[in-house]
Amino acid sequence: MSDVFSYLFDSASWSGPGGLSEQLVQQLLLSVTALVAALAVGLPIALWLGHLGRFGFLAINVSNIGRAVPTFALLALLARFSWPGSGEFGPYGRAGLATLVALLFFALPPIITQAYVGMREVPADIREAARGMGMSGPQQFWRVELPLALPLVLSGARLALVQVWATATIAALVGGPGLGNVIRLGFANVDRRSEGIAGALLVAAVALVLELLAASAQRAADPVPRDPGRRGGRDLSPIASTVAPAAATDS
């Protein structure tokens, strides 16, 4: 372990082509891009179906298929095909497009599931109160349902972010960028085993930081004050005071 920490705290390990800094930035770019693409694809579908209250079984089960498909197997197949293939893709490196597509499919299940469940868990009496105050469907969606569902929506994005970050190391197995190269080369060479362990520790440390940041964002986005005396429960009484002014303004 002394060799591991010596490698991590050596400035030479972080500089130059192929250094830890470059690999870290490349993996962050892959992870964030895949997450944003998954949010753009999955959120509108899940939120709208949750608002309608239809096709939930289909949406959740289709997204669960993505959990059953091994991401590395999907990546290997995509890299073999003529499209997306294994060619260079801008700053994402070799097999960059194939890696992004594989990570996108990996990120969709938690995003779709949590967003749909969050919309359906908005209490029916709150929906009725919004309709009774004269809110249209879009107004009810944007002003009542989405704010209440936002913590669960963000929990899906949070889960997807950490999972995608950790899984993005497989890009190295098809010649792509990222910290997976440090891990792969380290364990392939006995003399560089400490570098592989250092790369794995760095991936774990960044995953922890991303989890803490995402948890803070999720907590800050919750519009409902928490009652310390109720474990995990929501006090929905403030919702009426939130909905009423909005309805009065619209009228």
Every domain of the chain and the residues it spans: 24-250
SS3 (DSSP) at 94: strand
Q: What percent of the chain stands above pLDDT 90?
A: 50
Identify whether the C-beta of residue 59 lies closer than 8 Å to the C-beta of residue 110.
Answer: no
- Fold classification of 24-250 is MetI-like fold (1.10.3720)
CB atoms within 10 A of CB 230: 9
pLDDT at 157 over 90: yes
Residue 49: burial class (beta carbons within 10 Å; 0-12, 13-18, 19+): buried
Q: How confident is the model at residue 190 (pLDDT cuts 50, 70, 90)?
A: confident
Average pLDDT score over the chain: 85
What is the pLDDT averaged over residues 172-179? 91
β-strand partners of 178: none
What is the pLDDT averaged over residues 192-215? 94
Give pLDDT, residue 237: 39
Structure token pair of residue 43: 């959120």
pLDDT 10s digits, 133-153? 889 888 999 999 999 999 899
8-state DSSP, 225: P
Give pLDDT, residue 225: 57
CA dist 161 and 140 (Å) reads 29
Comparing 158-167, 224-233, 234-243, the range with the smallest average pLDDT is 234-243
SS3 (DSSP) at 234: strand
pLDDT at 121 over 70: yes
pLDDT 10s digits, 85-120? 889 999 899 999 999 999 999 999 999 999 999 999
Q: H-type helices in 121-145, by residue range?
A: 124-132, 137-140
Comparing 66-70, 153-157, 176-180, 184-188, the range with the smallest average pLDDT is 66-70
For residue 220, which of 210, 212, 231 has the smallest C-alpha distance?
212
Give pLDDT, residue 161: 96
Q: What is the pTM of this model?
A: 0.84
For residue 100, which of 152, 43, 168 has the smallest C-alpha distance?
168
Identify whether the C-beta of residue 33 lies closer than 8 Å to the C-beta of residue 100.
Answer: yes
* CA distance readout (Å), 32 to 70, 188, 200, 210: 20, 28, 19, 11
Q: How confident is the model at residue 191 (pLDDT cuts 50, 70, 90)?
A: confident
Identify whether the C-beta of residue 143 lies closer than 8 Å to the C-beta of residue 97.
Answer: no
Give pLDDT, residue 192: 85
CA 86 to chain centre: 24
CA dist 251 and 249 (Å) reads 6
pLDDT 10s digits, 33-90? 999 999 999 999 899 988 888 777 777 777 777 777 888 889 999 998 888 988 999 9
Give pLDDT, residue 55: 77
